[in-house]
Amino acid sequence: MIVRPRPHWFRMLFIWRGSVLRKLVGRLLSIGAISVCAELIYLHVDNNSLTGLNAQPFSLIGLALAIFLGFRTNVSHARYWDARKHWGSIMNASRALARQTLTLTEWPAKSDEAQRFVRTLIAHAHALRHQLRGSDAGDDLSRLLAVEDQQRVFDARWKPIVILQLLGTQLHKARRSGASPDVLALAMENNLQTLGDAVGGCEAIHGTPIPLTFSVLVHRTIYFYCTLLPFALVGTIGWYTPLFAVFVAYTFMALEAIAEELESPFGTDDNDLALEAICRSIEASLLELLGESLPPEQPLPVDFVLH
């Protein structure tokens, strides 16, 4: 995810990284070429066939298309923001559980039980990140999980859920041994439930895309509109047609591309959630609660920061 101070308005016009423009260059050049062909046909081949086509129908279609795109973008942004709130809940619940473990139970911060519980919490965040991205969680889980827990998690299909069960088992042992009173165990169980709800919410967003039929409708309408628009403009604005046709195409195609990126926010595109930075923040804050030295800061790509 790219987060940067808002640049000067003039520099904003030329921002490339984080913009969807680089995905659209080929398509926009195609619209420009169609516009030039339309102008040449109008001037040198047959202008009578194009004079009957004017901009009035395109005004009506453009209005409807703008409404469709607005709805599409709003739905995608809602999914993006819901995903960010779920990860915020994971961060808050993980920190609360670590604090409760280290301050309210009978486990000292340097005890094996406290170390195991907090490190398993960190492993949970990394496991969910890897599950949502379809990447290999082996390295992160190997360095964080207890040896006796690793094989069970490695063999699991839903690793974050199995890790939650391991946390629940550790909490149950603490309650039975008297290290955690019942009222504290109940409070910690509520935080574990928050983690489980966040996992389910992320899985719902990841596994339930916007219905394809709606995306196909918007996509087809955009390209039909942008392909025919130059033929309606050549009779009125002449050689300005390529400029205006490409600008209109950029507006509509860019909105569609932005909506597609926000629809699935767990990937590695420029505008997806910064899951590595979030997991790194969870790990660093929990290790600091344990009183351990923090892992060395890994440089993030330029403009990638987490506030």
pLDDT, mean of residues 128-149? 91
Domain boundaries, the chain: 59-289
Residue 172, C-beta contacts closer than 8 angstroms, at least 6 positions apart: 185
Please tell me whether residue 3 adopts helix, strand or coil conformation.
Answer: coil
Model confidence at 50, in pLDDT bands (50, 70, 90)? Answer: low
Distances (CA, A) of 184 to 7, 96, 105, 109, 272: 48, 12, 8, 17, 37
Strands (E), 244-304: none
- Which of these, 249, 121, 164, 266, lies nearest to 207 by C-alpha position? 266
Query: From CA 79, how far away is CA 65, in angstroms rounded?
Result: 21
Task: Say which residue the tokens 């987060």 belong to.
Answer: 3
pLDDT, mean of residues 23-28? 88
Q: What does the DSSP assignment read for 63-94? A: HHHHHHHHHHHHHHHHHHHHHHHHHHHHHHHH
**Confidence (pLDDT) at 49:** 56
Please tell me whether residue 158 adopts helix, strand or coil conformation.
Answer: coil
- Would you give the distance in Å from CA 30 to the centre of its chain? 30
Residue 83, C-beta contacts closer than 8 angstroms, at least 6 positions apart: 201, 202, 205, 265, 266, 273
**Confidence (pLDDT) at 300:** 47
Model confidence at 262, in pLDDT bands (50, 70, 90)? Answer: confident
**Confidence (pLDDT) at 270:** 77
Q: Give 38-46 contacts, CB < 8 A, sequence gap 24+.
A: 38/230, 38/231, 38/233, 38/234, 38/241, 39/230, 39/234, 39/238, 39/239, 39/241, 39/242, 41/234, 42/234, 42/235
Q: 10-24, 46-60, 155-169, 275-289: which range is least confident on average?
A: 46-60
**Confidence (pLDDT) at 61:** 83
- Residue 301 predicted with pLDDT over 60: no
**Confidence (pLDDT) at 165:** 94
Backbone angles phi, psi at 118, to 5 degrees: -70, -40
- Which of these, 288, 283, 286, lies nearest to 126 by C-alpha position? 283
pTM of the model: 0.83
**Confidence (pLDDT) at 303:** 39
Task: Say which residue the tokens 């997806």 belong to.
Answer: 272
- Which of these, 160, 166, 222, lies nearest to 195 by C-alpha position? 160
- Residue 162 predicted with pLDDT over 60: yes
